[in-house]
Structure 1
Amino acid sequence: MPPSKTPPSIRQRRLGTELRRLRDQAGLTVTRAGELHGSPQSRMSNIESGGYPVSADRVRTLAHLYGCSDDALIDALTHMTGGRTRGWWEEYREILPAGALDLAELEHHAVSMRIASAVHIPGLLQTPEHARALFQDVVPPLSPPQVEHLVSHRIKRQAVLYGEKPIPLSAIVHEAALQMGFGGPNVARAQLEHLLAMSENPHVDVRLIPFGTGSYPSSGAGIVYFNAEVPRLDTVQVDGDRSEFIDTEPQLVKYRAVMDRLETNTLKPDASRDLIRRIAQSI
């Protein structure tokens, strides 16, 4: 199988990263691993960078070579094999930043998701009008076509919450996000009504942190926690001055704890819905 001519997706890069971690745990250099596997060092390096698509059989062979006996992890890794996933987000490859496509791909493959947001309604729960108001307020300003591409991409991402097997979503939102009023009263009210309607779905859990709680771990940064088939393959997106994806075990442990801590500060779902209604009625 020849090296990929297009940049590897975040899923391909993650597979390579995990194979490298297994090799490191086995105490093997990339050169020695190549010798044992019968592959040149350059190919092994390309595999670990995600630039060389690998088969499920090759993944199992490498896992055995590295002494990995975690069957659940190996099975999950084999599900990440092959070429780039030709998801709907590929149509935006020459239009939007790579991070936007990575986000859509992670959402598509997530088993479940946890989101925490202090200032914004989570993108998966936004209306088109609300999203448009946000993108129109970007500095430096975006062109109208850029705004519409971003809006359409954001709305298409929401498909993971619909269909026969919608993913479970837990959203922790600070009351401040509901009071921002993006787009004016009509847009803001419609957004809160949409958030309320989404929270009625059995797979969508919306919980609010009200003003006066006095604690918000993570310094207000937006957090998206993507749960994978096995916890080792989870990913975190932290949205601060710049968005970054994190997948090291210490960071995963940290952000699981952060999300747990945040949840202890939230209202229960029914109380959260009551607060959403009151704010919507006051606009």
Structure 2
Amino acid sequence: MRWGNVGLRVDPTYRQRRFGAELRRLRERARLSSTEAAALLGMRQPQLSSVEAGKTGLSVERVQQLARAEGVSSQTFVQALIDLGQQSGKGWWSDYRAVLSSAHLDLAELEDGARSVVTYEPMFVPGILQTRDYAEVIHRAGYRPMGDEGRAAAVRFRVRRGGLVTGERPPSLHAVVHEAALCMSLGEPKVMRDQLLYLIELARLPHVTIQILPSDGPIPFGTGFVLLTPQVRELGTVVVSHIEKSLYLDDAEALSRYRDWFATLAGSALPAVDPDAAPSARGAKGSLGLLQRILYPLL
């Protein structure tokens, strides 16, 4: 490959940037400057900087060499890092590359590679659990203006994301949803009714756990987030919702902090929705009971 600006990615994906960031962490833990590491790998310093910025890849041999310099003992981690850099980045989401932002595509790619997804939503049903009608209402009445084509594509995209939950190799999914998110009819009572019924049906799946955080509980709304964990836990990512641009966090401290925060939320939420439990075992104060009370006026 020729170097300089030729052949470098102009707009790397999150996966590509993450691969570069992990290599930079390896280098820093090995106490190597970028110049020293480049010399070790038989590269020039600007080349390594481009790799760490996600603008280009790195050969398997050089990844392994850098891992040895850092003293990485887990071959599972090294192989996962190699896979991260070798992936094509292509999937069903690639069909939307021309019409949706990179944030949409990055999230779908992360979900596709996740073994575990945990999410907290204070104001909306989590996107991966939304019905088509609910997604249409959200996008029609959302704060971001969208043309008809973009809105239709965004709805189709969200429904495709939801197919991961019911597909052949779904991740484990644990969602904590604030009661407030389920009480808004959005001007469409039937849409909300069908959405709540769909949540109950999804809760029948063995890999899906849904809990409701009650409005009279000890925790305020907070900010929505999703924690996606692939086969190697250290390569997880937290996506924090924001009105302007979602925040992607992947350092060890942030991952630990959000895992602890989700554990607190789950511990404060009502017992999980379990439609198949005997009525006597459901308890009066459970997520299913609260869902049913919200549903009653909509039936």
Counterpart contact for 1:113–1:170, Cα < 8 Å? yes
Distance 2:223 2:143 in 1: 19
Query: Which residue identity is paired with 1:192?
Result: L
1:145 matched to 2:149? The reply is: yes
Q: 1:257 aligns with which of 252, 256, 260?
A: 260
Counterpart contact for 1:110–1:227, Cα < 8 Å? yes
1:108-151 residue CA offsets vs partner (Å, 9 max, x unmatched): 11111000011100001101110111111123532221211110
Query: Which residue identity is paired with 1:228?
Result: P
Q: 1:267 aligns with which of 253, 267, 270?
A: 270
CA drift at 1:241? 3.1
Instruction: Indicate the SS of the match to 2:211.
Output: strand
1:187-246 residue CA offsets vs partner (Å, 9 max, x unmatched): 111111111111111111001111211313xx5210101112222211101113331111
Q: 2:131 aligns with which of 115, 127, 132?
A: 127
Aligned partner of 1:200 in structure 2 is 204
Counterpart contact for 2:19–2:84, Cα < 8 Å? yes
CA drift at 1:259? 0.2
Moved more, 42-51 or 127-136: 42-51
- 1:137 to 1:96, Cα distance in 2 relative to 1, 3 A: same
Instruction: Indicate the SS of the match to 1:173.
Output: strand
Aligned partner of 1:246 in structure 2 is 249
Counterpart contact for 1:8–1:84, Cα < 8 Å? no
Instruction: Indicate the SS of the match to 2:174.
Output: strand
Aligned partner of 1:233 in structure 2 is 235
1:276 matched to 2:291? The reply is: yes
Correspondence list, 1:21-60, <5 A: 21-60=25-64
1:72-125 residue CA offsets vs partner (Å, 9 max, x unmatched): 321221221225311111222221111111111111111110000111000011
Distance 1:57 1:137 in 2: 51
Q: 2:219 aligns with which of 215, 222, 228?
A: 215
Distance 2:270 2:204 in 1: 15
Moved more, 270-279 or 203-212: 270-279
CA drift at 1:5? 4.3
Counterpart contact for 1:110–1:167, Cα < 8 Å? yes
Instruction: Indicate the SS of the match to 1:114.
Output: strand
- 1:75 to 1:123, Cα distance in 2 relative to 1, 3 A: same
CA drift at 1:183? 4.6
Between the two proteins, the alignment pairs up a number of residues equal to 281
TM-score (normalised: structure 2): 0.89
Query: Which residue identity is paired with 1:274?
Result: G
Counterpart contact for 1:193–1:277, Cα < 8 Å? no
Distance 2:49 2:87 in 1: 17
Aligned partner of 2:75 in structure 1 is 71
Distance 2:161 2:15 in 1: 17
Counterpart contact for 2:218–2:268, Cα < 8 Å? no
Query: Which residue identity is paired with 2:89?
Result: T
Counterpart contact for 1:130–1:187, Cα < 8 Å? yes
Correspondence list, 1:166-185, <5 A: 166-185=170-189
Instruction: Indicate the SS of the match to 1:202.
Output: coil
RMSD: 1.7
Instruction: Indicate the SS of the match to 1:182.
Output: coil
Aligned partner of 2:99 in structure 1 is 95
1:238-275 residue CA offsets vs partner (Å, 9 max, x unmatched): 11333111111211111111101001111112321232
Query: Which residue identity is paired with 1:278?
Result: R
Instruction: Indicate the SS of the match to 2:184.
Output: coil
CA drift at 1:68? 2.2
Question: Identity rate of aligned residues, in percent?
Answer: 36
- 1:128 to 1:77, Cα distance in 2 relative to 1, 3 A: same
Distance 1:83 1:191 in 2: 35
CA drift at 1:67? 2.6
Counterpart contact for 1:56–1:79, Cα < 8 Å? no
Moved more, 52-61 or 204-213: 52-61
